[in-house]
Chain A
Amino acid sequence: MPHISFHNKEITFKIVYFGPGWSGKTTNLVRIHARVEDDLRGDLVMLDTDQERTLFFDFLPMELGRIAGYAVRLNLYTVPGQIYYEASRRLILDGADGVVFVADSQPSRLDANLVSFSLLRENLESYGMDWSTFPIVLQYNKRDVEAPIAVGTLERDLGLNGITVIEAVAVEGRGVMETIAAVSCRIIEGFDL
């Protein structure tokens, strides 16, 4: 859920990057952080676990404009992809206003994508989120691998209609800003006064 700060005249939304382990969630965040001007962003905070890192930072995307005179701030999080981090994943997902699902385009990771997406759905539904209206963007990352999973495969296997899909090569920065722009626009649209 958003947080409205009267003092700072800001409304903050939480966006969570979700996906299987090593699909490129961290790379997405690092890339965005590098692209945002220093004085409009917070530090990139890293919470290390044994297997994978959880990242966080916040920034003011100027292009999103304002809602009723309040500046829009985005809090970006990644969640650990490994299945066994159930507790921390739930905690991070709690109160998310939008989710980017970062899928791994390597054919060998098809099942991992499907399992991870089911987890996301279960978690969000357990918070009572309305799955049909919740802002979510599907990013097919690693489009530069050999014989990548065809776009449309995950949507078909998961029964997703009309989900926003973006192709990316996050290590090169391709598709990264398009993804964050797409999910934040979906969030703001839902907030149209």
Chain B
Amino acid sequence: MALRGSLTDLNIVELVQVPAASRKTGELFIAGLDGIARLFYAAGRLVHVEVDEVSGQDAMVEVVGWSEGEFEFRPDVEPERRTFEMDLHKALMLALKQRDELKLAESSPPVDHTQLGELLRAFLASTDFIQFCCVLNSDGSTVRCDSRQAGDPSWLAGLRSVVGLLLEGYPRKGLQRVLLEDADGTVVVSRLADGSALVVVAERDARLGAVSVAVERFLRRLGEAAGDVQR
């Protein structure tokens, strides 16, 4: 029996891994909003991908962005062509990365300041170890701040120049995140999609792992909010 369903029930990234996990041979046929995708597997290995006229990895980059559509897996259908040699999971990660880079290039609109303020406040309230969080422009100026205490902390002025230096002066490209430990706790600086920086200050007793996970969750929330704006 063929496996059928909708991309709203099974995410595309999960879906393309299913035939691989069970080492199936056959065709995964997806009718998406923007076209028809066909993925061919031989004993679980992905051997051919096509979306309309595009094939191979370029087609993969296209497909991983789909969120709506219907799919059907047709077992034992032999591939018509072979355009794929890379390991499926590696190709998938690469496609997700390429897709993210494309999206970044299109520069998604950031969340507006009011919404950012609400998100920061909710973030602060969601943990007991984060004392201060803010978004700074690369020149160090404030986009939005939130703190457990009223007013800007005295050290913020100094931090502004450090953040600018990190973002502008870091010698290798693509700086994503810096975790700093000092006498008073942990400071995390994360670069956001629009070039600004999220700065999170956690108290001394907070473990590095917990701070890192909390920041990660918040960044995801921020990304979702930006995605909602775009839609």
A residues in contact (CB < 8 Å) with B: 1-7, 9, 11, 37, 39-40, 62, 67-71, 95, 191, 193
Contact = CB atoms under 8 A, between A and B. Distances in A.
B94 A7 contact: no
A117 B12 CA distance: 39
Contact of A191 (B14, B88, B93, B210): B93
A4 B89 contact: yes
A71 B176 CA distance: 13
A4 B12 CA distance: 11
Contact of B11 (A7, A40, A68): A7
Contacts of B100: 68-69
B211 to A, nearest CB: 11
A87 to B, nearest CB: 18
Given A4-B17, A5-B14, A193 B97 contact: yes
Nearest to A40: B209
A71 B100 CA distance: 15
Contact of A37 (B12, B17, B90, B209): B209
Given A3-B89, A6-B13, A191-B93, 13 more contacts: A1-B21, A3-B21, A4-B13, A4-B89, A4-B92, A7-B14, A9-B220, A39-B210, A62-B212, A68-B93, A69-B96, A191-B90, A193-B94
B22 to A, nearest CB: 10
Interface in B11-31: 11-14, 17, 20-21
B93 A6 contact: no
Interface of B: 11-14, 17, 20-21, 88-90, 92-94, 96-97, 100, 207-210, 212-213, 216, 220
25 contacts: A1-B21, A2-B89, A3-B21, A3-B89, A4-B13, A4-B14, A4-B89, A4-B96, A5-B13, A6-B11, A6-B12, A6-B14, A7-B14, A9-B220, A11-B93, A37-B209, A39-B209, A39-B210, A68-B94, A69-B96, A69-B97, A69-B100, A71-B216, A191-B90, A193-B90
Contacts of A70: 93, 96
A6 B90 CA distance: 14
A40 B216 CA distance: 13
Nearest to B16: A4
Contacts of B207: 37
Nearest to A70: B93
A153 B90 CA distance: 36
A67 B212 CA distance: 16
B89 A68 contact: no
A2 B94 CA distance: 14
A22 B13 CA distance: 40
B213 A4 contact: no
A11 B13 CA distance: 11
Contacts of A9: 220
A191 B210 CA distance: 27
A11 B88 CA distance: 13
Nearest to A192: B90
Minimum-distance CB pairs A-B, first 5:
A6-B13, A68-B97, A37-B209, A2-B89, A6-B11
Contacts of B13: 4-6
A39 B211 CA distance: 11
Contacts of A191: 89-90, 93
B67 to A, nearest CB: 10
Contacts of B88: 1
Contacts of B94: 68, 193
B216 to A, nearest CB: 7
B147 to A, nearest CB: 24
A4 B93 contact: yes
Contacts of A39: 209-210, 213
Given A6-B14, A7-B11, A1 B96 contact: no
Nearest to B64: A6
